[in-house]
Amino acid sequence: MEYCMEHPEEISKIAAVQKKVNEVKDVMVENIEKVLERGEKIELLVDKTDDLRNQAEQFQKKGRQLRNKMWWQNCRMKLLVLLALMVLAVVIFLLVCFTGGKNCTK
């Protein structure tokens, strides 16, 4: 106590250093809080990215399935049209032959 009374300038230096230490401590606490918040946001972003990747994979899979389904449907339609044309050609041929076509029986 006696020392404090005899050397007040050193006490004020110690107080100034303590004040700066407290300021630095406050800044560091604030920085740590920001880093933690940023880490949470990064984790949220990673989760959203994973969800988006999964959705993209599902979209690609469904698109491929739909493309294959439409290809088969198109093939069936072409076959039906071809069959209908063949039946129509046979009907026309038979009509021509049986209604007086002289070239059909030879």
Q: Per-residue pLDDT for 4 more than 70?
A: no
Question: 58 lies in which domain range?
Answer: 2-73
Residue 21 lies in a domain: yes
Q: Flag whether pLDDT at 106 surpasses 60.
A: no
Nearest CA to 105 out of 96, 25, 67 is that of 96
> Do 11 and 4 form a contact (C-beta atoms < 8 A)?
yes
The answer, as to whether pTM is greater than 0.75, is no
Question: Does a structural domain hold residue 99?
Answer: no
Tally the domains of the chain: 1
Q: How many C-beta neighbours within 10 Å does residue 97 have?
A: 13
What mean pLDDT is predicted for residues 55-72?
A: 98
Q: Is residue 48 a contact partner of residue 41, using CB atoms and an 8 Å limit?
A: no
Model pLDDT for residues 10-62, shown as the tens digit of each residue: 677 888 889 888 998 999 999 888 888 888 888 999 999 999 999 999 999 99
Q: Is residue 60 part of a domain?
A: yes
